[in-house]
Amino acid sequence: MEETIVPEVWGWYRQFVRDRNDHTTPNLFVPHGEAEIQDFEREFGDALPPVYLAFLQQIGTGRLTADINGGDTLDYENSFLSTSSIAEILRRNSVEWRIYPDFIDDDEVPFFSLGNNSVLVFRRGHGTAVYYPFGKSAYARNFNQFLARLMTDCTFYRQLFRLPLLAPRK
């Protein structure tokens, strides 16, 4: 069953959509072009779930560093990856692969960067459940749940995996 858009959640993200990169705002999304998605699909087929592709087109790639409850993070990148960034990782041409020979598993597709060479992934054949690479259990059963949880706590994943801070706060 294909996952549908949750209007309330996606509407909250839409307020941060810009037509160009703006470094003055904590949350920023730039819509992804259809041509870029088609290029990705020609090379990798249906590696990315349709709901993520819809997110890229309607909301975009970008970062979420402040949530609806006033929480923020400067410790994590919190970036939704573009198809070109995902393609670079899948081709194993990225910096991450040179540093970490086991960056992600063969059936995993990265879509969200935590920073410092850490990503969250979808697994082929597992719908849109969200995993940490090589993780045994999903901590979001689908992409919309991930978006909703991130919207209310932009570092919710940290408690689930007992992840340390990536960089000290200044």
Q: Which residue spans within the chain are E strands per DSSP?
A: 27-30, 61-64, 79-80, 108-115, 118-123
Number of domains within the chain? 1
Whether 170 maps to a domain, the answer reads no
Whether 169 maps to a domain, the answer reads no
Whether 98 maps to a domain, the answer reads yes
DSSP assignment string, 70-89: S-B-SSS--EEPPHHHHHHH
Whether 167 maps to a domain, the answer reads no
- Which of residues 162 and 87 earns the better pLDDT score? 87
Tokens 């993200």 locate to 13
Distance CA 1, CA 139 (A): 20
Q: Do residues 79 and 62 touch, judged by C-beta distance below 8 A?
A: yes
Of the ranges 35-44, 68-77, 125-134, the best mean pLDDT one: 35-44
Query: Is it the case that residue 132 has pLDDT exceeding 60?
Result: yes
With cut-offs at 50, 70 and 90, classify the pLDDT of residue 162: low
Whether 166 maps to a domain, the answer reads no
Going by the DSSP 8-state scheme, the letter that residue 21 receives in this structure is: -
Average pLDDT over the chain reads 86
Question: Which residue segment(s) compose the domain that 98 sits in?
Answer: 7-158
* 159-to-112, 139, 153, 165 alpha-carbon distances in Å: 17, 11, 11, 11
The answer for residues whose C-beta is within 8 angstroms of residue 107's C-beta and 6 or more apart is 123, 124, 125
Query: Is it the case that residue 23 has pLDDT exceeding 80?
Result: no
Region 92-103: mean pLDDT is 76
Q: Which of 12-16, 116-120, 158-162 has the lowest mean pLDDT?
A: 158-162
> 57 in helix, strand or coil?
helix
Tokens 């999903």 locate to 138
Whether 25 maps to a domain, the answer reads yes
Q: What is the CATH number of the domain that holds 153?
A: 3.40.1580.10
Whether 1 maps to a domain, the answer reads no
Whether 163 maps to a domain, the answer reads no
Region 159-163: mean pLDDT is 59
Q: What is the pTM of this model?
A: 0.88
Region 25-48: mean pLDDT is 93
Q: What is the pLDDT of residue 157?
A: 81
CA-only gyration radius of the chain, Å:
15
